[in-house]
Amino acid sequence: MTIRGGFMGRLQGGGREEAYRLRDLDRQALPMLWRYLRVFKSRLLVSLLAMLVVTATTLAAPYLTKVALDTYIAAGDMRGLTLISLLYLALNGVYWLAIYWQGYLSAWVGQHVVHAIRRDLYAHVLRQSMAFHEEERVGQIMSRLTHDVNALADLASSGALNLINDVFSLLGIVAIMALLDLRLALVTLASIPVVMISMGLLGKQMRRTYREVQQALAEVNTGVEQGVTGMRVVQSLSRESFTMEQFQDLSLRNLRANLRAALLFAAVFPTMTITNTLGLALVLGYGGMRVAGGAITIGVLLAFIGYVHRFFGPLRELSLVYNAFQSAAASLDRIADYMGREPRVPEPAQPRRPEGGFEGGIAFQNVSFGYGPERVLHNLDLSVHVGETVALVGSTGAGKSTVAKLLARLYDVDEGVVRIDGVDVRQIASLDLRRLITLVPQDVFLFADTIRENIRYGDPHASNEEVEAAAWRAQAHGPIVGLPRGYDTAVGELGATLSGGQRQLIAFARALLADPRVLVLDEATANVDAYTEALIQQAMDEIRRDRTTLVIAHRFSTLRRADRIVVLEDGRIVGQGSHEELIASNPTYQRLYRRQWADARAAPSQPR
Amino acid sequence: MAQQTNRTVPPREAPDRRPPGNGPDQAADTGRGRGKESVGAGSGPGIGRGDGRPRLSGPAWPIVRRLLRYMRPHAGVLSGVILAALATTAIELAPPWIIRLSVDRYILGGQTGRIWWAAGGLLILSLVQGAVDLFRLYLTAQTGHGIVFELRNAVFEHLTRLSFSFYDRARTGDLMARVTADTDVLSDFFGRAAVIVLTNMLTLIGILVVLLVWDWRLGLLYVCFLPLIVHGQWVYARRVRPAMARVRRALSGLTSVLQESMAGILVVKLFGREPYQRERVDGQSAAYREANIGAARITSLWMPYANVIMGVGAALVLWAGGAGVIAGFVTLGTLIGFTTYIQMLLRPIRQTGMMLNVVMRSVAAAERVFEVLDTQPDVQDAPDAYPLPAVEGHVRYQGVTFAYDGGSQGAEALRSVDLDAAPGELVALVGPSGAGKTTLVHLLPRFYDAQEGQITIDGHDIRRVTVGSLRDAIGIALQSVFLFDASIGENIAYGNPRATQDQIEWAARTTQIHDFIRSLPLGYGTPVGERGVRLSGGQKQRIALARVLLTDPRILILDEPTSSVDAETERRMQQALAEVRAGRTTFVIAHRLWTVRQADQILVLRDGRIVERARGDAGRSAHETLLEQSGLYRELHDLQFQAEALGAKPPAAGAAIPAPAPGTRRRGR
């Protein structure tokens, strides 16, 4: 059982926020949090009331003991003693009821807030353009969606309640103590600074050390990951002992960090005992003297002993509360940071669509674009007729993939305009655009699901028959049914069970199932075996039928099938036409042809 | 009545001690995700099916005993720790005694001068106790972390010995969890649980003895409540564990949905499936929310239960003790001492409950760790293995049959393969994917052991020589490229740490990557991986190949060494490789048939058999001989040619190859 949020949790939790200052918190962040909490106002209120009852019942116990001792036991009043004992018993029932509702309700509210924030944050992240997703690492986004959102919920529900609880408990105890005996109360309270200072110092140290431990453990984790994923290489090069040494280094660093932390942890428990006892000793010594002197009754002394016990818990928590809030605030800030980012590819306010629907004519007009300050495309003009197949060729970095991404509006142009059937893509509703255009990227991504579901991703409403029909047309059916479990074969981690060619065919099937008016295809450069290669070429014929197709071509056969070839160089179009025209007149194309295809084309025909 | 802890905190799904929520950790999480269990779950040992949830498939006691065995070497330190624990327990019992004494003798008895002495005594005792505690807690933790350090290293070392067949089944995330997270859980067992359980037992017994000695009637009253508290803890543990497991499962479901949608964001966007993803995340997140609330409900109800029972006990003691005081057979000091002891009882009981939980978790974790340690490596040195002497490189396979899952009939990846490669020969392996080419070359460095047949190098049976010396003689460029999180230079020198910069650059030049590396600002010092330069598949492939060349092996195996390299670079690489190949026996697997034309020997595989083979002689190359045979080689060759040439003809006139009808197996062609 690991319970965080309690004392030890505050010592350990969220070590990486150490550098964060509460005052750095964005002013917009708190209102945002309140918007989520506001919905559950009444539940929060009940929870708060329940918590006050818990505090009250907890504080009443020593006082009842005092009354029992001084009023009834001293007077020998058995009836009164029975009554007060029954009251004590009843308080326990109230306590149980109240603490149950407090715990349950605050968790309920906290979890609902987390869920709502996570849902909205995720939707917001999905709306962000590809530029965002390429900049932010997956791990980082994940951390915000899980760790940060959870940390925030702790603050919003139980964290805040605990803080209020601690404050009330302390004030209550101080008040009762002062009422019982002001002088004894003042002497007892003298131990407060000792607790606050020692715990505060220790807490700070521990957080630092705990962060070191976490870092060291993360390093070990990375070491294992490297070792395990690279084990085949390690073994094939007989470098086991070297890897082992590297790992032992990491492991040793982790051990050292752990030992430093252990020393501090070992100090926490004794410090708690000693400070507790300090309070108890003050009560016993000074209180005892006052009882002996007749200034207070023995019942008051007993009550003080009871309160001293209850006093130190909240005090310790409060001495660490800054830390706890610091880490939650850092989480809140990171969430607000994401929430505050406007999507760089915004949804049009008034989407347009041509009368009679889209047909798929493409026009790039004077388009310039760069991912950063550096331009990738310069004043590009390109139009593709409905139903035409255009192949884009060019060396690496010529801007071929960028053209495809702009067409699919994964980015917005810096200058100029991209139109489909005369409509600026920035004015097309994103759902319309997705139905209209499908891009098959070079690196095929398949979900960790069955092949069937991966194809169905192109159209969630498709029946099994339609899925198989699409696979058939994409030439993927044969290879799929050749697998041991056919369409129900699970695509393994990173699709390890399928070859590159098979993955490409499945991606084709997925795109065919979506049945877009415009298809943009980034051909895989990876080598596939002769048989799959033939299948891919067959699939190409089917894919481009009845639609506008833009292919970033790496295969010579694709070039031969295209209605038109467009040659890109350094973000500019340097020629277009058929293979024969270009090979005759275009120097860039000639060079490309010589480098990429001439050798391959020449080779197999040689023995003939 | 309620003691110090008057709050309940919703249970947290994740242990606190975990690496920050970045890449590796998340990978571990999703890797262990329940949702993916079906994917990598092969047969064989349970590695790979793991899901991180406490699971006891067998009795716990043998595992606990095995864990305790690890503590034996530290018996000296541990007995010191136990003595210290006895001492602090005794000291811990003192304060109520002192309070009772002070109340009865000094405060009410009039010896006021001694009151401050008593208070001072309390403080001194607590200082002594604090010092002893510090000492014993640290020693315990040190021992625990020390044991875990050794254990973790042992597990990792064992992993380096496990063969390819293990890694075929295992999932990275799962293994990572076993080596880091699971061993980390064990540090709690060694470092705290065992000792804390012991000291708490001592405290409980001590308190009971004192209470019974003081007043056996009140003491007995008190004893009656202990079973109730223990029962409450037990109920709590029994209910909360499945609830926590649900929380963890829901979390890993949520993380894997999130992780996947982020990794595949491009596809999500391209198909406009954001609403669908939102729905899935919403569903998983709601399930996680409900699981958390369910767990919080149990915790809120049962965590305070012990407090409540203690409170009921306190009420009864107050009543009965008060009655005793009135009747005159109980002193006031005894009553006060009793109530103080009651407050002291809660912590040990609580802690014991928690620690029993730690023990249970440790058992589950240990089970997973031991599972790795107990996995026998498939490939080991024979007892009388000798190092392979310097060889010429004459490789022979005789009747080699191999199946991945240990040899069930009909599932063989290789069937009765014979081959004979003379020293210095270039042997090309050709065939459709899945024909067994990679399997064939993986048997030579003993990544797997064949079930039947024999493989020799210069007449040395590879099973009779040490695995290390065998692999030193062989350099293999694996099909899937892996680079380490290190600099490019370190990656190339990985196989040969003594290589000079000149040698490294020679290898890089041979694989046509030197110019690219020099163009980077940091050159050979450029880091690879997440924090480093983003390399294309072809660039990685060339670095990996350079790494192999640098080991200067007698036998070179190239498994699709240029699959991600563009045609122009490939051609230049081939020229450079031709020089490197000189004098080495080389096996090459390639899909592009024109890369195998110069082979001295060509073997065509299908369904694990060599179906065609040819050796070049003075007149004709192996390639030419095979083309004339009009067999599978010819078929593959024509297919490839047609695929390239298709565009030259009008694409009408039917397809070059008939599309396979549904139900036909690809490999059957």
Read off the tokens for B593.
Answer: 């048939």
A286: exposed, middle or buried (C-beta count within 10 Å: 0-12, 13-18, 19+)? Answer: buried
Interchain contact, A227 vs B159, CB within 8 Å: yes
**What distance in Å separates residue A530's CA from the closest CA in chain B?**
5
Other C-beta atoms closer than 10 Å to the C-beta of B407 total 13
Interface of B with A in 252-271 (CB under 8 A): 254-256, 258-271
Closest-CA residue to B54 (of B195, B247, B297):
B247
What are the pLDDT digits (tens) for A279-293?
889 999 999 999 888
| A453 neighbors A447 (Cβ within 8 angstroms) | yes
Q: Does B18 touch chain A (CB under 8 A)?
A: yes
Interchain contact, B22 vs A281, CB within 8 Å: no
Q: Which of A301-305, B71-75, B635-639 has the lowest mean pLDDT?
A: B635-639
For testing the chain A interface, which of B36, B114, B160, B665 should be mutated: the one with the most A CBs within 10 Å? B160
DSSP class per residue in A52-69? HHHHHHHHHHHHHHHHII
Interchain contact, B340 vs A305, CB within 8 Å: yes
Buried b (16+ CB within 10 A) or exposed e, A373-412: eebbbbebebebeebbbbbbbbbeebbbbbbbbbbbbbbe
Nearest CA in chain B to A437: B270
Interchain contact, A104 vs B325, CB within 8 Å: no
Interchain contact, B9 vs A114, CB within 8 Å: no
Q: For tokens 């004015």, what's the residue?
A: A427
Assess whether pLDDT exceeds 90 at residue A381.
yes
pLDDT above 70 as % of chain B? 84
Closest-CA residue to A285 (of B1, B123, B305):
B123
DSSP class per residue in A113-159? HHHHHHHHHHHHHHHS-HHHHHHS-HHHHHHIIIIIHHHHHHIIIII
Could you say which of A103, A266, A458 has the minimum Cβ distance to residue B138?
A: A266
What are the pLDDT digits (tens) for B215-228?
888 888 878 877 88
Q: Does B466 touch chain A (CB under 8 A)?
A: no
Per-residue pLDDT at B641 = 67
Give residue limits of the domains in chain B: 60-215+355-377, 216-329, 395-668
Q: How much is the average pLDDT of A185-212?
A: 84
CATH no. of A362-602: 3.40.50.300
Q: Does B482 touch chain A (CB under 8 A)?
A: yes
CB under 8 Å to B20, separation ≥6 — which residues? Answer: A16, A143, A214, A215, A218
CA distance A363 to B635: 43
Could you say which of B35, B276, B312 has the minimum Cβ distance to residue A92?
A: B312
**What distance in Å separates residue B525's CA from the closest CA in chain A?**
19
CA distance A270 to B127: 8
- Residues of A within 8 A of B297 (CB-CB) are 104, 107
Residue B31 pLDDT grade (very low, low, confident, very high; cuts 50, 70, 90): very low
Q: How much is the average pLDDT of B480-487?
A: 85
Interchain contact, B296 vs A108, CB within 8 Å: yes
Residue B594 pLDDT grade (very low, low, confident, very high; cuts 50, 70, 90): low
CA dihedral of residues B620, B622, B623, B625 (deg, nearest 10): 60
Nearest CA in chain B to A270: B130
Other C-beta atoms closer than 10 Å to the C-beta of A194 total 14
Read off the tokens for A52.
Answer: 């006050």
Closest-CA residue to A147 (of B174, B265, B14):
B14
A28: left (phi over 0), alpha (psi -120 to 50) or beta: alpha
**What distance in Å separates residue A127's CA from the closest CA in chain B?**
8
Report residue A378: phi and psi, to 5°.
Answer: -120, 115
> How many A-B residue pairs are in contact by the CB < 8 A criterion?
608
Interchain contact, A236 vs B137, CB within 8 Å: no
Q: How much is the average pLDDT of B595-604?
A: 86
- Residues of B within 8 A of A534 (CB-CB) are 639-640, 642-643, 656-657
Could you say which of B103, B314, B471 has the minimum Cβ distance to residue A236?
A: B471
Interchain contact, B273 vs A460, CB within 8 Å: yes
- Residues of A within 8 A of B26 (CB-CB) are 138-139, 142-143
Could you say which of A162, A239, A477 has the minimum Cβ distance to residue B494?
A: A239
- Residues of A within 8 A of B156 (CB-CB) are 224, 227, 244, 247, 251
**What distance in Å separates residue B319's CA from the closest CA in chain A?**
6
Nearest CA in chain A to B662: A478
- Residues of A within 8 A of B24 (CB-CB) are 218, 221-222, 225
Interchain contact, B172 vs A599, CB within 8 Å: no
Angle formed by the axes of helices A321-339 and A78-127, nearest 10°: 30
Average pLDDT over chain A reads 84
Nearest CA in chain B to A264: B138
CA distance A383 to A101: 67
- Residues of B within 8 A of A110 (CB-CB) are 10
Amino acid at B633: Y
For β-strands B474-477 and A572-577, DSSP reports them as unpaired
Residue B287 pLDDT grade (very low, low, confident, very high; cuts 50, 70, 90): very high
| A519 neighbors A390 (Cβ within 8 angstroms) | no
For β-strands B601-606 and B426-430, DSSP reports them as parallel
Task: Tell me the β-bridge partners of A518.
Answer: A437, A548
What are the pLDDT digits (tens) for A329-341?
888 888 888 888 8
Interchain contact, B311 vs A61, CB within 8 Å: yes
CATH no. of A15-181+320-344: 1.20.1560.10
**What distance in Å separates residue A224's CA from the closest CA in chain B?**
6
What are the pLDDT digits (tens) for A60-84?
988 998 899 888 988 888 999 999 9
Closest-CA residue to A572 (of A388, A382, A371):
A382
What are the pLDDT digits (tens) for A309-353?
888 878 877 877 777 777 788 888 888 888 888 888 888 888 988
Closest-CA residue to A489 (of B38, B268, B253, B45):
B38
For β-strands B601-606 and B395-402, DSSP reports them as unpaired
Q: Does B91 touch chain A (CB under 8 A)?
A: no
Assess whether pLDDT exceeds 80 at residue A58.
yes
3-class secondary-structure state, position B620: coil
Could you say which of A285, A431, A510 has the minimum Cβ distance to residue B119?
A: A285
Read off the tokens for B246.
Answer: 């649900």
CA distance A73 to A65: 10
Interchain contact, B262 vs A133, CB within 8 Å: yes
Interchain contact, A559 vs B647, CB within 8 Å: yes
- Residues of A within 8 A of B14 (CB-CB) are 2
Could you say which of A68, A214, A265 has the minimum Cβ distance to residue B20?
A: A214
Read off the tokens for B547.
Answer: 């790494």
What are the pLDDT digits (tens) for B581-591?
888 999 998 77
**What distance in Å separates residue B452's CA from the closest CA in chain A?**
23
Q: How much is the average pLDDT of B388-417?
A: 84
Assess whether pLDDT exceeds 60 at residue A421.
yes
**What distance in Å separates residue A551's CA from the closest CA in chain B?**
15
CA distance B468 to A241: 11
pTM of the model: 0.75
**What distance in Å separates residue A381's CA from the closest CA in chain B?**
24
What are the pLDDT digits (tens) for B426-469?
999 988 777 888 899 999 999 999 999 999 999 999 999 999 99
Could you say which of A112, A143, A533 has the minimum Cβ distance to residue B643?
A: A533
Read off the tokens for B426.
Answer: 């270039």
Interchain contact, B285 vs A118, CB within 8 Å: yes
Assess whether pLDDT exceeds 70 at residue A229.
yes
**What distance in Å separates residue B294's CA from the closest CA in chain A?**
9
Interchain contact, B122 vs A274, CB within 8 Å: no
- Residues of B within 8 A of A258 (CB-CB) are 141, 145, 187
- Residues of B within 8 A of A252 (CB-CB) are 149
Buried b (16+ CB within 10 A) or exposed e, B436-463: bbbbbbbbbbbbbebeebebbbbebebb
Per-residue pLDDT at B283 = 94
DSSP class per residue in A535-572? HHHHHHHHHHTTSEEEEE--SHHHHHH-SEEEEEETTE
CATH no. of B60-215+355-377: 1.20.1560.10
**What distance in Å separates residue B542's CA from the closest CA in chain A?**
14
Q: How many residues would you count in chain A?
A: 608
CATH no. of B395-668: 3.40.50.300
Are both B60-215+355-377 and B395-668 of the same fold?
no
Per-residue pLDDT at A164 = 85
Per-residue pLDDT at A19 = 57
Q: Does B663 touch chain A (CB under 8 A)?
A: yes
CA distance A99 to A58: 11
Interface of B with A in 394-453 (CB under 8 A): 432-433, 445, 447
